[in-house]
Amino acid sequence: MNKVLMMNMCMIIDEENHNILVQDKVSTDWNGITFPGGKVENGESFIESTIREVYEETGLNISNLVPCGIINWYNTSTNERWLVFLYKTNTFSGNMVSETEEGKVFWIPLESIYESKLAPNKEQYLELFFNDYLNEAYATWSEDHISDFYIH
């Protein structure tokens, strides 16, 4: 049986100040600006896991999540599949932390996201977050090489 890993990511929007919350990830394999998120644990729904991951990485409680699409990664060498469920929300509360072991957490102006040092392939993710008519991306990879990346 092929291994399937399910993950999530959430764009948190502060509409009053026209900002979005980002993380500057410090990971050996995925550095750069991204949105909070992580793995779906056994026994969790996709929404529950997103709420938990955002709290662990930012200190914020979120609700009213809106689905933005899914990234479907397929490894052609190992037959491994990663499914990344994307959400956005403008409903949050709590005391934000400034940094976790995963990286710094901070607000940036919404319009400056494309000027940031984005994590790999983040531009394609942003297309799903910002375009309601798009709902899936399919990408293939092998080792450190991405072969294809299609957005539907």
pLDDT value at 40 more than 70: yes
Burial of 83 (0-12, 13-18, 19+ CB in 10 A): middle
In the prediction, which pLDDT does 1 show? 61
40: CB partners within 8 A, 6+ apart: 6, 7, 8, 46, 49, 85
Q: DSSP letter for 120, please.
A: T
pTM: 0.94
pLDDT of residue 148: 80
What pLDDT, on a 0 to 100 scale, did the predictor assign at position 150? 81
Residue 121 confidence (pLDDT): 85
Q: Are 37 and 64 in contact (CB under 8 A)?
A: no
Cβ atoms 41, 50 nearer than 8 A = no
- Convert the pLDDT of each residue in 49-68 to its tens digit: 999 999 999 999 999 999 99
CA-atom Rg of the chain in angstroms: 15
- In this predicted model, what pLDDT tens digit does every residue of 77-128 receive, in sequence order? 899 999 999 999 999 999 999 999 989 999 999 999 999 999 888 888 999 9
Residue 152 or residue 13, greater confidence: 13
Residue 19 has pLDDT above 90, yes or no: yes
- Which comes out higher in pLDDT, residue 26 or 86? 86
